[in-house]
Amino acid sequence: GESVGLHLPTLSVQEGDNSIINCAYSNSASDYFIWYKQESGKGPQFIIDIRSNMDKRQGQRVTVLLNKTVKHLSLQIAATQPGDSAVYFCAEKRGSTLGRLYFGRGTQLTVWP
């Protein structure tokens, strides 16, 4: 399953499938990106990050891809599990600002058994 972030805020996949969550950013000065997972009633949980000098980074079952040419970021989750159901946010840090993160609207991922 695949989402386009701001335009399709929901994504439903079957357990075991791979999920792709997309995020577009607009600021060329953005130099650091983070994906967070937020479950209902909880705070955002760090998943994986990537710097602008990289194109790809892998974690456990997750991969983040960064395409600076088109200002696009994606999170791939392999073998999606019911416990992956949550809202996923991409956040960016812009080189010109101190510390603050800019968050996208989020994508609701629902995993069906």
Residue 112: CA count within 13 A, CB half-sphere: 5
Pairwise CA distance, residues 112 & 99, whole Å? 37
- The one segment of 12-20, 59-67, 73-81, 97-105 that binds another protein by CB under 8 A: 97-105
Question: For residues 113 and 101, what is the distance between their CA atoms, to the nearest angstrom?
Answer: 34
State in angstroms the smallest separation of the CB of 18 from another protein. Answer: 24
Segment lying near another protein (by CB under 8 A), choices 30-38, 53-61, 65-73, 78-86 = 30-38
Q: Choose which of 7, 40, 42, 113 interacts with another protein (CB under 8 A).
A: 42
Quick one: which segment of 14-22, 45-53, 64-72, 77-85 binds another protein (CB under 8 A)? 45-53
49 binds another protein (CB under 8 A): yes
Which residues of this chain interact with another protein, rule CB under 8 A?
32, 34, 36, 42-46, 49, 89, 91, 93, 97-106
